[in-house]
Structure 1
Amino acid sequence: MPGAAADGGAPTDPGPVYKTVTDKSAKLSLQTFGRPDGKDMVFRISGSVYANIEGNSLDPELRHGQKLFNIEGYNIRRLYRVPGTTQLYQLSREIVFYTDPADPKHVVRTWKNPVDGKTYPVVPINNDTVNFGPFPITSSYVGPPLQRLHDETVWTSDIPVRTDFGATLGERFGLVGGVYAAQEMFDFSVDDREVAARTKPGVPSGAMKTKISWSRTSPWAPFMCLAETDVRGQLTYHARSWSLSSYADIEPWLRAEVEKSHPLYKAAPGAPGPSENSWTSFYNKQLGKGATTWAGWCAANGRA
């Protein structure tokens, strides 16, 4: 069949490349990027968002440590091989809803800004797409350092993020210097039985049973209409994540919300493309890629 891989699979099938990997850590970390069989997998995300305010300077309207939201959602991803090469991509989309701080299953549609007293529409994290790669994969490919704690193998990924949106988008979002600065911190853990089962020779099927702890410290979310230049403070996200083998394994209430308003997020992307984060997604979808400004959006959407 024209375009098929030499082993009879699709030309984008990661399996033949994955089979060449020998390093234990590489096998484990690649299986968090996606299923080696090339099908979609999910990392379900559940956690909370807190106000992190220097000196508690906004009390009593907004106090340091106040829980502002729960967050519920997922990242849906797959491993993709560049046809005819040994290069792999992680391709994903992620949708995460801000939910009631007292009821994780209740999606909030509006939020009252306690600083200006106005109510704004809540925009979920909806990043299409979030891609990494390409990773050149050979038999010498190695993964991150591993540590064994009790009956689990663990590793970390700490990512400092700095993006000058003023320079790249021409939109400063009220950020100091127009620069988005954040810290993303991940802990991965896989138990001994799963490690043994998933590091054998060959191509495992399904998703590796993985648990993740995720924390992020970042500026106020764009929909909150709080300028970092004027309102001292940040958000701290603290969440847990766990692997699921497919979209069908997500709870019905969350799938219903996605299918009602964000059906694109039922599947991972089919090919590499530009990536989004919460800020570029807001720029693309809410600001019309610069058709309006962040300040203009806030002025138009804030309800007294």
Structure 2
Amino acid sequence: MLKRRGLSFAIALSAVMLTGLAPGAAVAADIDDPWAPGPIYRTVTDDAGQLQLQSMGRPDGQDMVFRISGSVYANVEGNALDPKIRHGQKLFNLEGYNIRRLYRVPGTTQIHQLSREIVFYTSPTNPTQILTEWTNPVDGKIYPVVPINNDRVAFGPFNVTPSYVGPPLQQRHEETAWTSDIPVNTNFGTTLGERFGLKNGYYSAMEMFDFYVDDRERAARTVDGTVPTGAMKTKISWSRTSPWAPFMCLPEESVQGQLTYHARSWALNSYAEVEPWLRAKIDLQYPLYQAAPTDPGASENSWSSFYNKQLGRGATTWAQWCTTNGR
């Protein structure tokens, strides 16, 4: 089945290249393809629904990328860790991307968003210098830096029919904007049997997204009955408040504070448009992240990914990992 779907995506891409279809044109080869999202996307008439779906993935069924660039700061109530860690101190830059696609359950109107994301912690003074180790100023030990490497991040299924509607839209000068704020509260002590030094074993965070699309882009890509090709030119502002990253080996239960992430994202048509310095790292060490997943599956976040990949799904504990890797 994987070959079948991959072949259909390749045929669709070839059709675009050979016929020179402009953005907004339907790909004829996809009309009866049970895997392709385009045929059911074409039925959506709500502008907000069309914009939301295009931020989730390309309606033509190909991979797209959201490039991510930002910074990570210490958020410490009462400046309680000063002078080891100051409130507001920039600890890292953040550089990477999410690569995604829309997956249609064959022969249905159900669509999943499937993605992988790889984001590197980089030097606070040089965004392109990927960090491989970090000195914990609280205990003085040096720990390996583990990037955000989530395989996979999946949402859905969404039933995409003519009645599908998106989020409330706001007009901001020459841009259309919408928001998605996500409170996260997961008991890893229960779900994974690993507390990570978190208070009561809970990972509690806030994920906050603002999406922006230029009005000209909106007009070009919300034409009823068509399947836009390529990635919609979308910009995202992303903020997250969350506990210390697991590789930092700072137990939230005893080391007061958390992290604040603040980043920008922008859409790219494909992995090939990611900057060469970043692709060189991926090609050499993380080739899995050159493409989005091809089937739905369980999602990861930074903590469950760390549990799966660094702790061997519970073969070792987080405390043992910190003891073994700190020097």
Residue in 2 aligned with 1:162? 185
In the alignment, does 2:291 pair up with 1:286? no
Structure 1: which 5+ residue stretches go unaligned?
none
Task: Specify the code of the residue in structure 2 equivalent to 1:102.
Answer: T
Residue in 2 aligned with 1:272? 296
* Deviation digits for residues 55-109 of structure 1 (CA, Å, limit 9, x no counterpart): 0000001000000000000000000100011000000000000000000000000
In the alignment, does 2:148 pair up with 1:125? yes
Task: Give the SS at the match of 2:127.
Answer: strand
* Deviation digits for residues 131-174 of structure 1 (CA, Å, limit 9, x no counterpart): 00000111011000000010000000000000000000000000
* Deviation digits for residues 156-210 of structure 1 (CA, Å, limit 9, x no counterpart): 0000000000000000000000000000000000001000001012000000000
| C-alpha distance in 2 between matches for 1:12 and 1:285 | 31
1:96 to 107, 119, 137: 119
Task: Specify the code of the residue in structure 1 equivalent to 2:135.
Answer: K
Residue in 2 aligned with 1:143? 166
Task: Specify the code of the residue in structure 1 equivalent to 2:38.
Answer: G
Greater helix percent: which structure?
2
Residue in 1 aligned with 2:139? 116
Residue in 2 aligned with 1:237? 261
Task: Give the SS at the match of 1:264.
Answer: helix
| C-alpha distance in 2 between matches for 1:211 and 1:293 | 39
Residue in 2 aligned with 1:254? 278
Residue in 2 aligned with 1:43? 66
The 1:298/1:9 distance shift into structure 2, 3 A limit, reads: farther
| C-alpha distance in 2 between matches for 1:23 and 1:8 | 21
2:48 to 21, 25, 28: 25
Q: Among all aligned residue pairs of Structure 1 and Structure 2, give the percentage whose two residues are the same amino acid.
A: 73
Q: 1:260: Cα distance to partner?
A: 1.2
In the alignment, does 2:122 pair up with 1:105? no
Structure 2: which 5+ residue stretches go unaligned?
9-27
Q: 1:6: Cα distance to partner?
A: 9.9
Report runs of 4+ in structure 1 exceeding 3 Å deviation.
2-10
In the alignment, does 2:102 pair up with 1:69? no
Task: Specify the code of the residue in structure 2 equivalent to 1:275.
Answer: S
| C-alpha distance in 2 between matches for 1:12 and 1:280 | 30
Q: 1:9: Cα distance to partner?
A: 5.0
In the alignment, does 2:287 pair up with 1:263? yes
Contact 2:30 2:38 in 1 (8 A): no
Q: 1:12: Cα distance to partner?
A: 1.6
Task: Specify the code of the residue in structure 2 equivalent to 1:176.
Answer: K
Residue in 1 aligned with 2:13? none
Q: 1:199-238, aligned counterparts within 5 Å? A: 199-201=222-224, 202-238=226-262
Contact 2:74 2:88 in 1 (8 A): yes
| C-alpha distance in 1 between matches for 2:32 and 2:85 | 56
Q: 1:111: Cα distance to partner?
A: 0.3
Residue in 1 aligned with 2:22? none
Q: TM-score scaled to structure 1, two decimals?
A: 0.97
- Aligned CA RMSD, in angstroms, stands at 1.4
Task: Give the SS at the match of 2:176.
Answer: strand
Task: Give the SS at the match of 1:130.
Answer: strand
Q: TM-score scaled to structure 2, two decimals?
A: 0.91
1:190 to 213, 218, 227: 213
| C-alpha distance in 2 between matches for 1:153 and 1:8 | 30
In the alignment, does 2:89 pair up with 1:55? no
Task: Give the SS at the match of 1:60.
Answer: coil
Residue in 1 aligned with 2:106? 83
| C-alpha distance in 2 between matches for 1:66 and 1:267 | 34
